[in-house]
Structure 1
Amino acid sequence: MSHWLIVGASRGIGLETARQLSARGERVTASVRSAAGLAALKAAAPQAAPLQFDVRDAAAISAAAAQVRDPIDVLIANAGAYGPQRQSSTDMDFEGALDLLSVNTLGPLRVVQAFLPLIKRGARPRIVLMTSRLGSMSLGGTVNVAYRVSKAGLNKIAQCLADDLKAEGVVVVALSPGRVRTAMGGPNATLDVRDSVAGVIQVAESLTLADTRRYLDYRGEELPW
């Protein structure tokens, strides 16, 4: 039995990840932002140990990390947002874009830094930063600019963390769950959340130090940076 920390588990991919892992008997610690998120987590994964914090709030994250005593084997940094309605290169909501960067790009890094001592003590420690194919610098398109930038930045953080932590045996990857039918992905997305999460878990379980610094999708296939 491994100890998994799922960050952003109040709905969608994070909630389903906590549910699937709990259902098969893994030890799960999961974070939510609100009382409503806490209720959803308790209903879907009653065995999971809850934490409550916003990934924008470094002090709250540190306080939550202080509540966890046991080593963490796998961290899945899943909390994220879509961002403002106006986010094109010619019409940008700059305040909304900055907030999105705080959530999607710096939020996972705040979490990693706060929980890193516990992760380093884990068995085969692995950090999975949930990104998007839209973060690929090689992908064309001009919509969702702030979201794309936030995920491209997260990809660079994944590379830097991987380089910094490799000598200590910590695996770090950027992983895209695909376009999933969730509140963020929308009803027309091609992938069911259960299938995406099953793939994410399988990829996370299979990671070794040879995989660190990779950019993968939920099937384990390589994506271009």
Structure 2
Amino acid sequence: MNTGTLLEGNENMETVLVTGSSRGIGLELTRQFLDLDYEVIATYRGKPSSSLSQLAGEHQYLRLINLEVTHQDSILGLAKHLKGIKLDIIVNNAGISDPSDGDLDSLTAVDWANTFAVNTIAPLMVSRALLDNLRLSSNPRIITISSQMGSLNHQGTGRYAYRSSKAAANKVMQVLAQDLDADKIIVCPIHPGWVQTDMGGTMADITVVQSATGIIDLIHHLTMEHSGRFFTWNGEEHQW
């Protein structure tokens, strides 16, 4: 873990933590939050991408931390490193797709369990470890990047591991919202759209810039009334 001293920004500056920030939606969220004058803590796995490293060289209020979201020791190390630091927003963005086509013949139990570890279990473990940081905020929010493929109303074939992991993540966040209601912590899963990333492919509907812009705009407008509900990147409520 990169354990340098976190910079202290303006007391009115909000701080957001984004997991999986080396590329795709996580990288663009990091970039846009910085442009909006947030202090950003961006996590990466193994080694930061050149794009993320470049951002760190250009922005005073960007902090990079190595985090393996499926390793409890790594998560506890993150919490220890951030002890006493106010977090206003956590964006659980780190996620993986099916390691193969995810069809009926190719799916293995090991692959399925690994997909669940990253997409379903990790968002809860990271969020739980940082609750004390969120409680220091006057407007704390937990956002988990989900998918419409996890909706029971969405039809499709294959991608068993991905679909089921996102459906389970939605339920986890719905329950977490109820558990944290007394703390006034907003919890919402968000469908980011079909995005032109390595995961979404070049034929996807929207760009990563469009997705991140919509997600951030939605985050800005969330209130406790919205907690425990499933939204799309453009602010529409999604069926579970």
Partner Cα separation in structure 1 for residue 148 and residue 34 of structure 2? 28
- 9-18 vs 39-48, which moves further: 39-48
Q: Which amino acid aligns with 2:140?
A: P
Answer yes or no: is 1:40 the counterpart of 2:51: yes
Q: Hey, what does 1:222 align to over in structure 2?
A: 237
- The question of 1:30 aligning with 2:42 is answered yes
**Identity between Structure 1 and Structure 2 (%):** 33
The one of 128, 132, 153 aligned to 2:147: 132
Contact 2:18 2:91 (C-alpha < 8 Å) held by counterparts: yes
TM value normalised by structure 2: 0.90
CA contact (8 A) 1:17 1:197 kept: yes
Q: Distance in 2 between matches of 1:15 and 1:123?
A: 26
RMSD of Structure 2 on Structure 1 (CA): 1.2
Matches within 5 A, 1:66-85: 66-68=80-82, 69-85=84-100
Cα deviation for residue 86 of structure 1 reads 4.4
Write out the 4+ residue segments of structure 1 that deviate beyond 6 Å after TM superposition.
Answer: none
Q: Is the 8 A contact 1:89 1:142 kept in 2?
A: no
Which residue, 185, 192, 195 being the options, matches 1:170? 185
Q: Could you tell me which residue of structure 1 aligns to residue 74 of structure 2?
A: 60
TM-score w.r.t. the length of structure 1 is: 0.96
Aligned to 2:130: 115
Q: Write the deviation string for residues 43-64 of structure 1: whole angstroms up to 9, x where unpaired.
A: 1344311111111111101101
Conserved 8 A contact 2:101-2:158: no
Amino acid at match of 2:23: R
Matched position secondary structure for 2:117: helix
Runs of 5+ consecutive residues of structure 1 not aligned to the other structure? none
3-state secondary structure, aligned to 2:180:
helix
CA contact (8 A) 2:56 2:63 kept: no
Give ranges in structure 2 of 5+ residues lacking alignment. Answer: 1-12
Aligned AA (2:220): E
